[in-house]
């Protein structure tokens, strides 16, 4: 099997698109688009100068034409997305072991996970009560009771 230059351009494009999966800046994808442009031109038997020109043009068009839209609509820049334990704040849980700060005891189950818990104002909360998570300090949740509304 004999490789032609356009094969190399397309293989390089595929590798750059794969690289883009782990680098979300759309830079590798922009260069990959340039490689696709050059590969198409190369398959039409144009010379290396025209291939490099089409590579440059494709990369620049992609970088300055498509990248701004990807960055504007494809990324959450406001930072309001909470993950991991920060996402627990405001969630509702259920007391599984009575929470008593004076005796350093209490457990809450939240979304299937069991956490050590304490109350903010040293009130005692009994097993079965619903609570809201106020904050997370390492592996300890600070909670408050959700009073039943009649």
Q: Please state the domain extents for the chain.
A: 5-74, 84-145
Positions of E strands within 101-139: 105-110, 113-119, 130-137
**Residue 139 pLDDT class (50, 70, 90 cuts):** confident
Of the chain, the percentage scoring pLDDT greater than 90 comes to 61
Half-sphere exposure of residue 67, counting CA atoms within 13 Å on the CB side?
Answer: 18
Give Cβ neighbours of residue 67 (< 8 Å, ≥ 6 apart): 26, 27, 30
What pTM, to 2 d.p., does this model score?
0.51
Residue 111 has pLDDT above 80, yes or no: yes
Calculate the average pLDDT of the chain: 88
Topology of the domain comprising 84-145: OB fold (Dihydrolipoamide Acetyltransferase, E2P) (2.40.50)
Q: Is the pLDDT of residue 108 over 80?
A: yes
Band (pLDDT 50/70/90 cuts) for residue 76 is low
- For residues 9, 12, 13 and 19, what is the CA-based torsion angle, rounded to 10 degrees? -170
Q: Which residues contact 66 (CB under 8 A, 6 or more apart)?
A: 26, 30, 33
pLDDT for the residue 150? 39
The pLDDT, as a whole number, for residue 78 is 62
pLDDT per residue as tens digits for the range 23-73:
877 889 999 999 999 999 999 999 999 999 999 999 999 999 987 887 777
Helices marked H in the chain? 5-22, 27-43, 48-61, 67-74
* Residues 46 and 6: beta-carbon distance below 8 Å: no
91 versus 78: the higher-pLDDT residue is: 91
């Amino acid at each position: 099997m004999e490789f032609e230059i356009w094969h190399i351009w397309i293989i390089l494009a595929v590798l750059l698109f794969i690289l883009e999966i782990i680098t979300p800046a759309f830079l590798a994808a922009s260069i990959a688009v340039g490689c696709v442009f050059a590969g198409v031109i190369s398959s039409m038997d144009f010379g290396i100068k025209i291939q490099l020109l089409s590579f440059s043009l494709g990369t620049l068009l992609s970088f300055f034409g498509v990248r701004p839209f990807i960055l504007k609509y494809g990324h959450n820049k406001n930072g309001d997305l909470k993950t991991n334990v920060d996402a627990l704040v405001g969630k509702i849980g259920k007391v599984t072991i009575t929470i008593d700060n004076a005796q350093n005891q209490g457990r809450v189950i939240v979304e299937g996970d069991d956490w050590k818990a304490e109350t903010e104002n040293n009130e005692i909360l009994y097993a079965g009560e619903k609570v809201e998570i106020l904050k997370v300090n390492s592996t300890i949740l600070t909670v408050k009771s959700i009073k039943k509304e009649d």
